[in-house]
Structure 1
């Protein structure tokens, strides 16, 4: 289930997720425009890929082909998109609602779900005032979070922070049927600064860091699964140290972090 962000960059992220996970079925619930956009996009993408494949295999081949056979090839190259009716009373999730859901998800990552813990009963056999007032029932339950996050104080020198940048060439600058050989996403190292406060950073796996050091390919780092996330609580440029909120105790799996534009304040 996606987050409901289907405009602009949100739509581009949907397309990227479908391609990255090699999705073969897409369900669109009660949104005619999104259904039309996805159908058109994948149809054109399949036509473009089929044309490139035919040009590479046999440039002199006759482009005319049985329409039914060609349509069958195109359908095999694109996911099946199914439009489902929206249930009665269901409304679209607006941007403020989605932002609040994201804040709650980040909070759950660091602090866990809320749980109710019964307060300890008094040592004496006499009922407490709360029990008397409530008719002698069970003691009230206190709410607390399941996890206890930890604050790490680390020097700048022990960490490396990378941010993603896009590098793409116009199709007009490339030869016919040629594809961009360089990675469209590059990594650029950045330094800690006060504006990075409240940023959510991804902690890279040591194996991905090692592989990136050997190959230098940005995709070996950003496309690998991350070990977890930390939140920047404080950036002290005077002593060149940063305070990171971590969901568990101990050292970070690696000192290589990825930063984006997600911010979170409790």
Structure 2
């Protein structure tokens, strides 16, 4: 193990990728520094898990001590942090104006910021910074995560929202005490783009209702993180998200073409600002294998915790106690009912009851709060289970759940999300 100190000059950043096998410990010895917008407390060791990527930034200079092995670590003196903090200052002004406005007026709505850009451009990092800086000023902004490929709030395959009351923990990430989660079930929206739109609308409507009754949340506004698919259908879904969540600020990271397209299409909306920002030089591009590994580790973390400090429970249920549904699929109308030559289209929001068979093995299923099957699409989910065994003869299913006891609902949703525990 190697312990070493790094002295950072003002407005410099130490970019770190933890090695694949061992955690890394890090602490602040002198000065002040932050990780993704959250200040580091002096003299307290932080432990980062293997493969974790992060950056320590200082505004005024700092000395950092590291204990462990890194894949890479280097100091950078060119960062876009000044432009990011300037955005924060503008948003801060808008929040203050919203708070001072009469609660029944349109001007009482705080900024609704949507962060867009290609894959691996630093969208979730910028979202974290803006949320943490706002929380540090005493606001409670709402974080909305539409990136089903990675999942910052809960496991991949979901769209989710949660209030941010404190700067986000540099190691633990986004707090998940009260998230509002909708299960899409796949890592890419291309599988069922219509369902993705429907779930966005459900989430947006609930948030609007919450804001209507809470002036503090309304003035704090929201920060929306999006996926990196920005062409074709991906671009359409971005426009749909801007519209659905009534975004007022669109931050475009490192993509001239996307910025000019959005400026053009939104020019008739005077209350929407499109701002191009430079992406950080510390952003690491990942291949599909690295993304898959990241998805698996997010699912593992859900059941076992970041530091393996959670104990999930293995439970058994009869097939008859549970109803498993898949959303989408199945033709809308028989061929005989269609015009000659027309092909039946799959109904993107059709519920299909799935028989309990070996196909569910290693699947990650969502537990719905729905009381009836027809409420499944409009209901958020309570959590997730992982199917470890299916006994067809005895008609029982063995699954891993985060806690002991009965499931909060009998309706389960299956998508294409699988995980091999290991």
- Shared fold (TM-score greater than 0.5)? yes
Q: 1:96 to 1:201 in 2, by over 3 A?
A: same
Q: 1:227 to 1:14 in 2, by over 3 A?
A: farther
Q: 1:186 to 1:95 in 2, by over 3 A?
A: same
Q: 2:361 aligns with which of 183, 190, 197?
A: 197
User: Equivalent residue of 1:75, what SS?
Assistant: coil
Q: 2:371 aligns with which of 190, 209, 229?
A: 209
Q: Corresponding residue for 1:75?
A: 269
Q: Deviations over 1:5-40 (max 9, x none)?
A: 426776666556545544333322213454456556
Structure 1 unaligned regions, length at least 5: 47-70, 115-144, 174-182
Partner Cα distance (2:289, 2:365) in 1: 23
User: Which has more radius of gyration?
Assistant: 1
Q: Corresponding residue for 1:94?
A: 287
Residues 231 and 244, structure 1, Cα contact 8 Å, conserved in 2: yes
Q: Deviations over 1:213-256 (max 9, x none)?
A: xxx4xxx3223220111111111112111111100010000110
Residues 327 and 348, structure 2, Cα contact 8 Å, conserved in 1: no
Q: Deviations over 1:87-135 (max 9, x none)?
A: 2243333322222211111111100121xxxxxxxxxxxxxxxxxxxxx
Residues 168 and 184, structure 1, Cα contact 8 Å, conserved in 2: no
Aligned: 1:260 with 2:390: no
Q: 1:195 to 1:87 in 2, by over 3 A?
A: same
Number of residues paired by the alignment?
184
Q: Corresponding residue for 1:229?
A: 384
Q: 1:39 to 1:92 in 2, by over 3 A?
A: farther
Q: Corresponding residue for 1:26?
A: 250
Q: Corresponding residue for 2:88?
A: none
Residues 251 and 276, structure 2, Cα contact 8 Å, conserved in 1: yes
TM-score by length of 2: 0.39
Structure 2 unaligned regions, length at least 5: 1-123, 125-146, 151-226, 339-346
Q: Corresponding residue for 1:63?
A: none
Partner Cα distance (1:192, 1:8) in 2: 36
Partner Cα distance (1:198, 1:17) in 2: 32
Higher percent of residues as helix: 1
User: Equivalent residue of 1:106, what SS?
Assistant: helix
Q: Corresponding residue for 2:318?
A: 155
User: Equivalent residue of 1:233, what SS?
Assistant: strand
Q: 1:197 to 1:184 in 2, by over 3 A?
A: closer
Aligned: 1:110 with 2:274: no
Partner Cα distance (2:360, 2:262) in 1: 36
Q: Corresponding residue for 2:402?
A: 247
Residues 198 and 231, structure 1, Cα contact 8 Å, conserved in 2: yes
TM-score by length of 1: 0.59
Partner Cα distance (1:195, 1:12) in 2: 33
Q: 1:253 to 1:12 in 2, by over 3 A?
A: farther
Q: 1:165 aligns with which of 313, 316, 328?
A: 328
Q: Corresponding residue for 2:350?
A: 186
Partner Cα distance (1:95, 1:10) in 2: 18
What is the RMSD computed on CA atoms of the aligned residues?
Answer: 3.1
Q: 1:161 to 1:31 in 2, by over 3 A?
A: same
